[in-house]
Structure 1
Amino acid sequence: MEEIVALYAEGDLSGRVVGSAPRSRVRAENLPHCATQVLLRDTAGRVYVHRRTDTKDVYPGMHDAWAGGVVAAGEDPDEAAEREVTEELGVRGCRVRPCFRYWYADADTNYLACVYEAEYAPDRHGPVVHQASEVAEGWWMSWEELTARLSDPDWPFVPDGRAGLERYTRYLEQHPAPRD
């Protein structure tokens, strides 16, 4: 059975749902929807970076630092964020904190990005275990290493992920204190 995705009012940061459609139609027509982006950071501040599988429907085989995905019809973005970090990376019990929202649109996707961060500790949250259909491989990178790699336009990194990390960098500048 095909996933039914919530459709959102384009450009509306409040997250107003205006309908629903099958995922295939959302992709084919580039309909405005909502998706979560969760940045998994360990207690040393490193970021979990992964390479998407070659079978992903958007940006296959590219690198990404966000665990996330579309918000299903009837699903709350906060719940979707927790679900996605557990599904994609296998970690359980991480506190997922909302950061900000923004609209992202290009020729492949058009969505309200609900951005979150989660702090990971292996002794509390278990090992990182990839969802085989979504994550081909992954590793930890320091924030400095990640931002240096992102300065290389030839590094195959998802464009929405680049946009999200640029905004997240500005967010960190405005919220430097720990948010716990």
Structure 2
Amino acid sequence: MIANPAEEIVEIVDRDNTPIGAVTRRIMRQQRLIHRASYILVFNRQGELFIQKRTLTKDVYPGYWDLAAGGVVLAGESYLMSAVRELREELGVSGVKLKLLFDQYFEDENNRVWGRIFSCINDGPFTLQTEEIDHGRFIPLSAIEALNTSEPVTPDGMALLRRLPQ
């Protein structure tokens, strides 16, 4: 992992999710370029979702609750490689079976991203990456909409939540 995330080289894609180049994360954010990201929904055996409170230093959605571990796909990485790497970096989880759920395009004023959503089952304990996650907890899926009315949840996470069977 690069010491300065802004200097990571990120895969850039078009609206059809076709790779068209690679730039630093800083340029990707400055120019609002479409990029790829992996999202891993981590459920416990009771079916609750592990959510993470993003640090205030994150480059997008700082301080929001995140429904998924994951992050940008680096140049030369597949979605699966990114998911495995991000799960290990952010939660200290490795060796779990990842289930592919779906792909989704999401766009708002801060973010334009093609995401590949995976899920896995893991009860923890987790080793949280302190640079990215303040804390986390398991929550029933049915409680996330209510949480979002009192504390912000990442909008791309809310979009994928609405595609999950409840």
TM-score w.r.t. the length of structure 2 is: 0.91
Tell me, yes or no, if structure 1 residue 163 matches structure 2 residue 159.
yes
1:6 is aligned to: 11
Segments of 5+ residues of structure 2 without an aligned counterpart are none
**Equivalent residues of 1:37, 1:66 under 8 A apart:** yes
1:145 matched residue in structure 2: 143
TM-score between the two structures when normalised by the length of structure 1:
0.84
Listed as ranges, the matches of 1:51-62 within 5 Å are 51-62=53-64
Aligned-pair distance for 1:147?
A: 4.1
Q: 1:110 aligns with which of 112, 123, 127?
A: 112
The alpha carbon displacement at 1:83 in A equals 1.0
Q: Alpha-carbon deviations, 1:39-89, whole Å to 9, x = none?
A: 000111111011000000000011111111000000000110111111111
Moved more, 138-147 or 74-83: 138-147
Q: Does the aligned pair in 2 maintain the 1:104–1:111 contact within 8 Å?
A: yes
Q: Of 66, 75, 81, which aligns to 2:83?
A: 81
User: Is this contact kept in 2: 1:41–1:118, CA < 8 A?
Assistant: yes
Residues 78 and 98 in structure 1, CA contact (< 8 A), matched pair in contact too: no
Whole-angstrom CA distance in 1 between matches of 2:131 and 2:56:
9
The correspondence for 2:127, drawn from 129, 133, 150, is 129
Unaligned runs of 5+ in 1: 174-180
Say which one has the larger Rg: 1
Alpha-carbon distance in structure 2 between the residues aligned to 1:27 and 1:147: 28
Deviating above 2 A after TM superposition, structure 1's stretches of 4 or more consecutive aligned residues are 143-150
Residues 117-161 of structure 1: per-residue CA shift (max 9 Å, x gap): 111144xxxx211101000010111222234434x2x42111111
Superposition CA RMSD, Å: 1.4
Residue of structure 2 in register with 1:31 after alignment: 33
Show the counterpart of 1:69: 71
